[in-house]
Structure 1
Amino acid sequence: MSFSFQLVGLDPTPFIPLFDLPDRQLAERSARRCIADASPGYPCRISLEDAQPGDELLLLPYLHQPAASPYRASGPIYVRRGAVQRQLPAGVVPGYVSSRLISYRAYDADHMIVDASVGEGIDAASEIVRLFSHDAVAYLHLHNARRGCYSCQAVRA
């Protein structure tokens, strides 16, 4: 049996007003403004692409697992000014994921981890399909394994 999936970028709406804040107010929110000086290196969680040198980004804490669960969690993410939420076709894994070591966390409907693994992003499609082959898995979170940052969500398509 084949399972299809879709990787989902974050909605940019809550981040847009943050770009207009002065650095002092960003710091009060534990956020920092930065300019990409290399690519890859600044993965935007909205566009699911690495920023290009010269792009303005915010590095900020993000509650990526907001559920009332023991796995409730937050971590740092980059978001790029002007980024548009990427709508990838089903089964597509962008270079943003395939070029990194990825940690996969499979959650059930109660937001409990029921499986997890780590592997090269080039194998992401097969690993996501494997994890979704378990009926209990409702969704996945992908993390950049080396730094532990949230990357994106995978949903059944």
Structure 2
Amino acid sequence: MSFRLRGLPAEPFAELFTLSDEALAARRATRVVADREHGYPCRISLTDAEPGQSLILLNYEHQPADSPFRASQAIYIREGERQYDEIDAVPDQLRRRLLSVRGFDHRGMLRDADVAQGTALEPLIERLFEDNAIAYLHIHMARPGCYAARVDRA
């Protein structure tokens, strides 16, 4: 079964990079500088920031469904990135992590969830999408729990 894996679109975040630190703080966001490899995953490009690169850390509502599963979480975004949007491909950022994958129906209700190493993501996506009631999947970084990407049937 084919799947479409997407990061977040860049456009809604573009203004944040023009704001002062005080204006970012008023939006519960902050500028950070990556101080190690693979510790600052950009949710737009689904790539990891290199040490020394600047990012913005903010709270993002990744599950806006009008259901008990409505949710938001802290995410990192990097300026100048292009949205990851690929069919049947998994970026290296996800391959190297333990992931939690959650399947939601069209009302935003959780139907199923599981955990897998990123190297075993495709079989989990296929298994979850065997349930025709699952409309989309959310991938989270399992250890910190933060939102990573969305998966739809292609």
Distance (whole Å) between structure 1 residues aligned to residue 31 and residue 44 of structure 2: 16
Match of 1:124 in 2: 121
**TM-score normalized with structure 2 length:** 0.97
Matches within 5 A, 1:35-74: 35-74=33-72
1:24 to 15, 22, 25: 22
Q: Once the 2 structures are TM-superposed, how far is the Cα of residue 37 of structure 1 from its aligned partner?
A: 2.0
> What percentage of residue pairs aligned between the two structures are identical?
50
Q: Deviations over 1:89-110 (max 9, x none)?
A: x211111111111011100111
Letter in 1 for 2:123: S
Q: Once the 2 structures are TM-superposed, how far is the Cα of residue 87 of structure 1 from its aligned partner?
A: 2.1
2:111 to 87, 109, 114: 114
Match of 1:97 in 2: 94
Q: Once the 2 structures are TM-superposed, how far is the Cα of residue 23 of structure 1 from its aligned partner?
A: 0.6
Q: Deviations over 1:107-141 (max 9, x none)?
A: 01111000001121111111111101111110000
**TM-score normalized with structure 1 length:** 0.95
2:140 matches 1:143: yes
Distance (whole Å) between structure 1 residues aligned to residue 81 and residue 37 of structure 2: 16
> How many residues are treated as equivalent by the alignment?
154
Letter in 1 for 2:85: Q
Unaligned runs of 5+ in 2: none
Distance (whole Å) between structure 2 residues aligned to residue 149 and residue 134 of structure 1: 24
Q: Deviations over 1:35-84 (max 9, x none)?
A: 11222111000001111222211000000001111100000000001111
Q: Equivalent residue of 2:123, what SS?
A: helix
Q: RMSD of the alignment, in Å?
A: 0.8
Distance (whole Å) between structure 2 residues aligned to residue 126 and residue 92 of structure 1: 13
Distance (whole Å) between structure 1 residues aligned to residue 104 and residue 37 of structure 2: 31
